[in-house]
Amino acid sequence: MFVDYAPKGVQFYYVYKALAHPGLHGYVGPVTLEERLMHIREAKRTLGTKIPWLCDNMNNDLKHATGDANNSEFVLDPDGKIVVMRLWSDPDALRKDLERLVGPVEKPTTVADLDLKVEPPPKTAPTGVVPRLRITEPMRPLKAEPLPSKHPFYVKLRAEADRALLGNGKGKMYLGFHLDPLYGVHWNNRVAPVRYEFSLPEGIRIEPAEGEGPKVEQEADADPREFLLDVDRGDSTEPVTVAFHYFACDEKMCIPVSQNYRIRWEVDRDGGRARRGPPRRGPARMIERIMESDADGDGRISREEAPERLLRRFDRMDADGDGYITREELEKRMRRPPMGGPPPDLVERIMSADADGDGRVSREEAPEMMLRRFDRMDADGDGYVSREEAEQAAERIRRLGRPPRR
């Protein structure tokens, strides 16, 4: 759309708003404007888009004024008035809007015409080393304000409360300290574990009010340090302050950092929805399942630890041939483009998006990454990807995929 209509004088903007799903792909919520701008640069890097961005202010005024929707879309006329508004961006509908308002283009650009690069998020140290906290209760984000610090917030606090704590003042609080991948630092497990300590006003009890992270064998990792605490704040609405002590380390530095946050007992409407715990499906889940075989917890799988089914593929997965399969080797392997053909269940994976069970995948049902290739997959252009068209896509991969390396 941008390619077709920017030359016709239409201006396009993405607006950067607070994270919808903090923690997803390791990204955590920015706490300063500069960090939001870093996120915009990261979005441009990873999405490969040339569309300019605007950045909501730190009060999230634009997000609030436009209804807090994650991916809403507006078309404005030259007087600045709304012509079209949608809760969720819809490229097809938007094209029709622009055809009506500005006129059709001779040869509309499809997503498949664009050589959009999709880069992975940054990674500084292994993840999956420290098990994530499993919380079954629904939790809501709390307002956590970072207090002034001479260092950047290499680590971000996410605080959440369960319904009981928000309702009657007595319940569970989640405290998660997440490394910000945009700073490129990791935990240094050769030094003292991370530590938190609360300063509590009278009448508020948090157990434990102090605590430290786990001792980890592996030299470095990037997993969040998480705690589940019991809170009894009675009738008090006083905020609490928590200090967090850690070492921020990368290849060049390793410095001790202490930072403070003020936590209020109020739901943060801009806190988004965190997704915790192991992935439920896909290659990431597969990696988690394989890493469960790491009996001695050293972050790698030896031949002795490998179950029968893994042993058969051990040499192929042990890329550097050192006798161990590491998470990095698995991730690298999973990220490879298809070698020698599509996965055997590719068609089923595509068709699993068919939410209404009509035997075809509509644009509305298609996950975003499939949406980018939707036009190409939808060979007859009827707006749906049928099983037959999914099979054709799989066949194209089968024909053009390179043979296996080993």
Where on the phi/psi map is residue 351: left (φ > 0), alpha (ψ -120 to 50), or beta? alpha
Closest approach of another protein to the CB of residue 38, in Å = 10
Closest approach of another protein to the CB of residue 392, in Å = 11
Euclidean distance between CA atoms 25 and 31, whole angstroms: 18
Q: Does 89 bind another protein (CB under 8 A)?
A: yes
Quick one: which of 3, 83, 147, 255 contacts another protein (CB under 8 A)? 83
At residue 339, φ and ψ (nearest 5 deg) are -110, 120
Closest approach of another protein to the CB of residue 45, in Å = 9
Q: Which stretch binds another protein (CB under 8 A): 5-13, 161-169, 194-202, 321-329?
A: 5-13
3-state secondary structure of 398: helix
Cα dihedral 54→58→64→69 (10° resolution): 60
41/303 with CB nearer another protein: 41
Q: Which of residues 317-336 bind another protein (CB under 8 A)?
A: 334-335
Closest approach of another protein to the CB of residue 208, in Å = 31
Q: Angle at CA 160, nearest 5°, toward 206 and 276?
A: 120
Quick one: which of 4, 7, 50, 63 contacts another protein (CB under 8 A)? 63
Angle of the 282-291 helix axis to the 327-335 helix axis, nearest 10? 150
- Find all residues with CB under 8 Å of 237, minimum gap 6, and list them: 265
28/206 with CB nearer another protein: 28
Quick one: which of 7, 106, 115, 357 contacts another protein (CB under 8 A)? 115
Q: Which stretch binds another protein (CB under 8 A): 7-15, 192-200, 232-240, 254-262?
A: 7-15
Quick one: which of 107, 150, 252, 281 contacts another protein (CB under 8 A)? 281
> Do the Cβ atoms of 127 and 235 come closer than 8 Å?
no
# residues contacting another protein (CB under 8 A) = 102
Closest approach of another protein to the CB of residue 113, in Å = 9
Measuring CA to CA, which residue among 6, 31, 45 is closest to residue 268? 31
Closest approach of another protein to the CB of residue 221, in Å = 19
Tokens 């007087």 sit on residue: 79
The site map against another protein for 182-211 (x = CB under 8 A) is ------------------------------
Q: Does 272 bind another protein (CB under 8 A)?
A: yes
Q: Does 278 bind another protein (CB under 8 A)?
A: no
- Find all residues with CB under 8 Å of 50, minimum gap 6, and list them: 2
Euclidean distance between CA atoms 153 and 123, whole angstroms: 17
Q: Which stretch binds another protein (CB under 8 A): 32-40, 139-147, 258-266, 310-318?
A: 32-40
Q: Does 392 bind another protein (CB under 8 A)?
A: no
Mode of pairing for the β-strands spanning 300-302 and 324-326: antiparallel
Buried b (16+ CB within 10 A) or exposed e, 64-96: eeeeeeeebbebeeeeeeeebeeeeebbeebbe
Closest approach of another protein to the CB of residue 313, in Å = 17
Q: Which stretch binds another protein (CB under 8 A): 86-94, 131-139, 166-174, 297-305?
A: 86-94
Which amino acid does the sequence have at 18?
A
Q: Does 388 bind another protein (CB under 8 A)?
A: no
Closest approach of another protein to the CB of residue 303, in Å = 27
Tokens 């609490």 sit on residue: 240
Q: Does 87 bind another protein (CB under 8 A)?
A: yes
Q: Which stretch binds another protein (CB under 8 A): 56-64, 132-140, 163-171, 257-265?
A: 56-64
Q: What DSSP letter does each residue of 329-343 carry, written as one string? A: HHHHHHHSPPBSS--
The site map against another protein for 345-374 (x = CB under 8 A) is -x--xx----x--------x--xxxx-xx-
Tokens 């605080």 sit on residue: 159
Which amino acid does the sequence have at 28?
V
